[in-house]
Amino acid sequence: LDDEAFAYRKRVSVPTDLLINNAGIGLPGEFETGTKDALMRQFEVNTVGPFLVTLQLLPNLQLAAKVNGSAVVVQLSSFLGSIGSCTEDTAAFFKQAGYGYSSSKAALNMVTRSLALDLRPSGVVAVSVHPGYVDTDMTGGKATLKPADSVAAMADLIAKLKPDSTGKFFNLDPQIPAAELPW
């Protein structure tokens, strides 16, 4: 959404019952050649962008919660945004430990947790979701989870979200047995 679209949504008070913030970039070779600009770019896209979009649509989300009883913000995060994922096995798989991508997704999880606390009184549920290691351009042919399967699992999860779901970090990757991930 651009600034004009945000302004329109605010002006006409359109209820928004579901916001899915799907943003993610990861830049390779950070340990050897990382730069401030590369690190900041990942934080801008992976953390700051979803936060600002949520703030822009907050009146619409709160209106939907008031009219419909609830509204949901889903932040597409990553298993790599869990501090517990930073292990020797993960570093070996990706050929290095995580820096920009992992750190920015961990920050997104904290933003989500903070939104959950602040939005709970208005009936807006905020959750982080690891969609799985999905076969996209970003995973370079290593992933086996098909986008359609990930989306189906996400739709199922969203349909089951309740007010007490707010602030949780859900896992949709069938290769990881836990339904919820640690922060």
Instruction: Write out 19-55 in H/E/C secondary structure.
Output: EEECCCCCCCCHHHHCCHHHHHHHHHHHHHHHHHHHH
For 15-33, how does the pLDDT look when each residue is reduced to its tens digit (9 = 90+)? 999 999 997 888 877 777 8
Residue 128 CA to residue 123 CA, distance in Å, equals 17
Closest residue by Cα to residue 61 from 22, 4, 129, 118 = 118
H/E stretch holding 102 reads: helix 100-119
pLDDT at 163: 96
If you count them, how many residues does the chain have?
183
Catalytic residue among 8, 99, 101, 133: 101
pLDDT-derived band at 4, boundaries 50, 70, 90: confident
Give the C-alpha separation, 162 to 116, whole Å.
Answer: 12
Percent of the chain with pLDDT over 70: 89
Q: What is the pLDDT of residue 144?
A: 80
Q: Phi/psi at 98 (nearest 5 deg)? A: -85, 145
Task: Tell me, yes or no, if 101 is annotated catalytic.
Answer: yes
- Domains by residue range for the chain, with CATH: 3-171 (3.40.50.720)
Can you tell me whether residue 125 is helix, strand or coil?
Answer: strand
pTM assigned to the model: 0.89
- Could you tell me how many helices (H) and strands (E) the chain has, helices first? 7, 4
Q: What are phi and psi of 171, to 5 degrees?
A: -110, 130
Average pLDDT of the chain to the nearest whole number: 88
Q: In this structure, what token pair is assigned to residue 37?
A: 């600009």
Alpha carbon 34 to chain centroid, angstroms? 24
Please state, in angstroms and rounded to a whole number, the distance separating the CA atoms of residues 69 and 86.
38
- Which pLDDT score, from 0 to 100, does residue 30 have? 73
Mean pLDDT of 122-131: 97
The answer to whether residue 91 scores a pLDDT higher than 70 is no
pLDDT per position as a tens digit, 146-177: 889 889 999 999 999 999 999 999 999 888 87
| DSSP structural state of residue 83 | G
Tell me the pLDDT tens digit for each residue of 49-80.
999 999 999 999 999 999 999 999 999 999 88
Residue 11 has pLDDT above 70, yes or no: yes
Look at residue 90 in the predicted model and tell me its pLDDT: 66
Share in percent of the chain as helix, strand, coil (round to 5):
55, 15, 30
Q: How confident is the model at residue 97 (pLDDT cuts 50, 70, 90)?
A: low
- What was the pLDDT predicted at 7? 74
